Amino acid sequence: MTLDELTAAFQKLYGGQPRIYRAPGRVNLIGEHTDYNKGFVMPAAINFSTWVAVTKRDDSVVKIHSDIFEEDAEIDLANSAAHGRKHWSDYPLGVAIKLKEAGHNIYGANLFVHGEVPLGSGLSSSAAIEVSTGLALLDISGVKIDRLGLAKICQMAENEFVGARTGLMDQFIACFGKADHAVMLDCRSLESRALPVPDDVKLVVCNTMVKHELASSEYNARREQCEEGVRILSQHLPNVTSLRDVTPDDVEKFRAELGEVIFKRCLHVTTENDRVLKAADALRDRDLKTFGKLMYESHNSLRDDYEVSCQELDVMVDLAKPIKGVFGVRMTGGGFGGCTINLVSVEAVGEFTESIRNSYVQATGKQSGVYICSAADGAGRIQ
Ligand code: GLA
């Protein structure tokens, strides 16, 4: 959809001349399920965005239409619910409510959303709709808050209104993405460092077409298991307040007490943090071989220790691994379906795409989606 088409669709529904905002989806290169453990992540914003057209209303009603769901939803900010109703509109409307609860004077608005980020595929369409809506509502209400503040409010909407206890990674990168760079984020200090993606590789995202449900109990269950790990470990190691403070050796040492499941969860998080630090050095040195090796290790750890992969993701990794020009592959995002991220040399991308499409359908009977992505800038006003 072009900007003119979006404007026309908006005008047909609501009338008026809208402002337009966008926020990108993301792919995470390495550092999975570490953000809510105050660890390290390395996402990049991608060239698939959610677009929001908006005009101000004279009352306190926020109306929203999605072209993907072909559906409308609305809330009255003067009298809004505390929890979502398990509907796509919980994400954007939750942001409106949380902005209001944070004391910002948000106006009623008419919103039209056009989504390009594949839904439920681990590319963070949820943060893209949250951040683009947040920017749109703040701007038409004449309220200025810094981007980190916006990212945190969007996360709060997802945690408290939607009910998924996600970390800050997705909202952060939707706000702070940088073209041609991955961003390494320390989820404790919230310091970040942009790392150039070498121009001889492409970020190729392969969609298994298995939809995940992040708000599902499994994600929250992993988070609780990590909290239980911290509770047990902190009885022996008093300075431990999150898994960030723990090493893989500590986890091994208290294995019996942790019990097998919590042990494996803690092992994944602590080894994954180490991998992100090594991966950042490898990227700095343009050492793609080492980076790729760390990606495979990350996938195995997510599969075996954190247990958030699925058969189709494992198949997608195994099929990509031997293809010429592939440095590394792993599942990306929350898991239980969704996508893999493949680091592929530029000249091999054509053959890679063809090969993975054919072999995946043969192996699973399912079609895949293959997206050749570049690292993009974070959210902004477009018109
Ligand atoms: C989802 C969440 C993120 C993060 C990832 C797993 O994308 O929104 O906060 O926890 O899963 O790394």
Ligand 1 touching residue 170 (CB < 6 A): yes
| 254 Cα–ligand 1 center, Å | 27
Task: List the Cα angle 261/124/134 in 5-degree steps.
Answer: 125
Burial environment of residue 365 by CB neighbours within 10 A (0 to 12, 13 to 18, 19 or more):
exposed
- Ligand 1 closest atom vs CA 35: 10
DSSP code per residue over 71-103: EEEEEEGGG--SS--SSTTHHHHHHHHHHHHTT
Task: Spell out the residues 6+ positions from residue 258 whose beta carbon is closer than 8 angstroms to its own.
Answer: 229, 232, 233, 251, 266
DSSP code per residue over 295-337: HHHHHHHHHHTS----HHHHHHHHHHTTSTTEEEEEEESS-SS
Which residues are catalytic, by number?
170
Return the residue whose CA atom lies nearest to atom 10 of ligand 1.
33
pLDDT given at position 81: 83
- Ligand 1 closest atom vs CA 127: 8
Share the mean pLDDT of the chain: 96
pLDDT given at position 212: 76
Q: Residue 211 — very low, low, confident or very high, per pLDDT cuts 50/70/90?
A: confident
How far are the Cα atoms of 163, 260, 295, 302 from residue 305, in angstroms, in the given order?
25, 10, 15, 6
What residue spans of 121-259 are helical by DSSP H?
Answer: 125-140, 147-156, 169-176, 217-236, 248-253, 255-258
Indicate the top mutation candidate among 91, 154, 170 to test ligand 1's pocket, ranked by most ligand atoms within 8 A of CB: 170
Does residue 375 surpass a pLDDT of 80?
yes
pLDDT given at position 82: 84
Return the residue whose CA atom lies nearest to atom 9 of ligand 1.
167
Closest CA to 30 of 302, 223, 254, 361: 302
Indicate the top mutation candidate among 26, 33, 224 to test ligand 1's pocket, ranked by most ligand atoms within 8 A of CB: 33
For 271-308, what is each residue's pLDDT tens digit? Answer: 999 999 999 999 999 999 999 999 999 999 999 999 99
For a pLDDT cut of 90, what percent of the chain falls above it? 95
Return the residue whose CA atom lies nearest to atom 11 of ligand 1.
334
Rounded Cα distance between 228 and 299, Å, is: 23
Q: Structure tokens of 124? A: 């963070």
For 4-54, what is each residue's pLDDT tens digit? Answer: 999 999 999 999 999 999 999 999 999 999 999 999 999 999 999 999 999
- Ligand 1 closest atom vs CA 167: 9
| 333 Cα–ligand 1 center, Å | 6
Closest CA to 170 of 114, 217, 133, 124: 124
For 319-350, what is each residue's pLDDT tens digit? Answer: 999 999 999 999 999 999 999 999 999 999 99
Ligand 1 touching residue 130 (CB < 6 A): no
pLDDT given at position 120: 84
Ligand 1 touching residue 33 (CB < 6 A): yes
pLDDT given at position 315: 98
Q: What burial letters (b/e) apply to 40-69, b meaning 16+ CB within 10 Å?
A: bbbbbbbbbbbbbbbbbbeebebbbbbbee
For 55-107, what is each residue's pLDDT tens digit? Answer: 999 999 999 999 999 999 999 999 888 899 999 999 999 999 999 999 999 99
* 3-state class (DSSP) for residue 67: coil
For 17-28, what is each residue's pLDDT tens digit? Answer: 999 999 999 999
Q: Residue 223 — very low, low, confident or very high, per pLDDT cuts 50/70/90?
A: very high
Rounded Cα distance between 262 and 246, Å, is: 14
| 61 Cα–ligand 1 center, Å | 31
- Ligand 1 closest atom vs CA 158: 8
| 158 Cα–ligand 1 center, Å | 11
pLDDT given at position 214: 54
Ligand 1 touching residue 14 (CB < 6 A): no
pLDDT given at position 80: 84
Phi–psi pair at 72, nearest 5 degrees: -110, 155
| 41 Cα–ligand 1 center, Å | 10
Q: Residue 213 — very low, low, confident or very high, per pLDDT cuts 50/70/90?
A: low
Phi–psi pair at 97, nearest 5 degrees: -65, -40
Ligand 1 touching residue 32 (CB < 6 A): yes
- R_g over Cα of the chain: 21
For 165-194, what is each residue's pLDDT tens digit? Answer: 999 999 999 999 999 999 999 999 999 999
Domains parsed from the chain with CATH numbers: 3-195 (3.30.230.10), 201-373 (3.30.70.890)
